[in-house]
Structure 1
Amino acid sequence: MSHDHDHDAQTGERWKHDGVRVIRGDRLDPNTAQTPGMFRQAAINHARVGAQKIWAGTVSIQPDAKTGVHHHGALESVIYVVSGRARMRWGERLEFVAEAGPGDFIFVPPFVPHQEINADPDNPLECVLVRSDNEAVVVNIADVDPVEAPEEVYWIDPIHTRP
């Protein structure tokens, strides 16, 4: 048996035991950073499945709840809205705003100061979160002087027209 064959056999065994993983929705891990009015749960991370480059989980945001102003360092974040109405404010003074509803995706680039808000005063906002690294990077920004009326920025491209 050649050395390469031994390596292939060991690698083959590893994928049989460490291959695709299904994380049941009722088995998410609440042992993650929490914000008042929000409940985050990890589904995919290093501790649970050995993920090296991504974190995924859920967040439930109570009516009218919001985060403080923050960014996630070099991480990219994706938020998928399952139900409810999300409002995102961003910019050095939170001068921009956009809203998203069920089925919409929100992309938050690295280092962008932002605030996540449940725009519905009566219903929770349910989202799926995916981040481009396994490390939880949250840099809180306390000295933001928000503008009074944020500018609404529409995502306009060949598919999305101005409402």
Structure 2
Amino acid sequence: MDRTELTCRLIRPDETYDGKQGLTYFCGIAAETVGSKSICMHLLTIPPGGRAKAHMHENHETAIYVLDGEAIALYGDKLQHHVVTKSGDLFYIPAGVPHLPINISDKPISAIIARTDPNEQESVVLLPDLEIYADQAIARLVKLGPPAG
């Protein structure tokens, strides 16, 4: 490719789209928006009580930077593990690991999501068989109350 054809692109995340995971994302960097080849990055806000569907990204890693608020991420083959993420935290999800974020607080949470898949939704694999484990984990966590700050 002739390097004179390459150009930088500015994206203002003012449009949204609904992801397979059940959440609404602000459009960001992706093959679909800027023609990226190896990465996507977008902004996600999860409302109070919101959560994603159980899913994984088969061949792509995910990095998350929490901008504001606190969330719980369930992960593992049966979503048996969880971690509390809060403003300023970085969270890494290896390729092929089932996971989902939930917000059991009374405030929205916002995060920047980056993935090694330039096609933002292409590598999303929904895992409906894990929803029962998600429901059980969420019920357990709700009894414990919102994450401590």
TM range (shorter): 0.7 to 0.9
Divergent runs of 4+, >3 A:
147-150
Q: How does 1:9-88 map to 2 (within 5 A)?
A: 11=3, 13-15=4-6, 18=7, 20-26=8-14, 29-31=15-17, 33=19, 35-36=21-22, 38-88=23-73
Q: Which has the higher contact order (CA 8 A, sep 6+)?
A: 2
For residue 21 of structure 1, report the CA deviation from its aligned partner. Answer: 2.5
User: What CA deviation, in whole Å up to 9, does each residue of 1:50-75 have, x standing for no partner?
Assistant: 10111111111110111121111111
Contact kept, 8 Å, 1:89 with 1:97, in 2: the verdict is: yes
Distance in 1 between residues matched to 2:74 and 2:18, nearest whole Å: 24
Say yes or no: does 1:141 pair with 2:127: yes
Distance in 2 between residues matched to 1:25 and 1:84, nearest whole Å: 19
Aligned to 1:129: 113
104 and 96 in structure 1: CA distance in 2 versus 1, 3 angstrom threshold? same
Distance in 1 between residues matched to 2:20 and 2:81, nearest whole Å: 25
Distance in 2 between residues matched to 1:89 and 1:34, nearest whole Å: 17
Distance in 1 between residues matched to 2:78 and 2:13, nearest whole Å: 37
Q: Which runs of 5+ in 1 are unaligned?
A: 1-6, 151-163
TM-score normalised to the size of structure 2?
0.78
Task: Please identify the structure whose Cα radius of gyration is greater.
Answer: 1
The sequence identity of aligned pairs, in percent, is: 26
Aligned to 1:101: 86
Q: How many aligned residue pairs are there?
A: 134
Between Structure 1 and Structure 2, which shows a larger proportion of strand residues? 2
Determine helix, strand or coil for the equivalent of 2:128. Answer: coil
Determine helix, strand or coil for the equivalent of 1:47. Answer: helix
Determine helix, strand or coil for the equivalent of 1:116. Answer: strand
Distance in 1 between residues matched to 2:39 and 2:71, nearest whole Å: 23
For residue 118 of structure 1, report the CA deviation from its aligned partner. Answer: 1.2
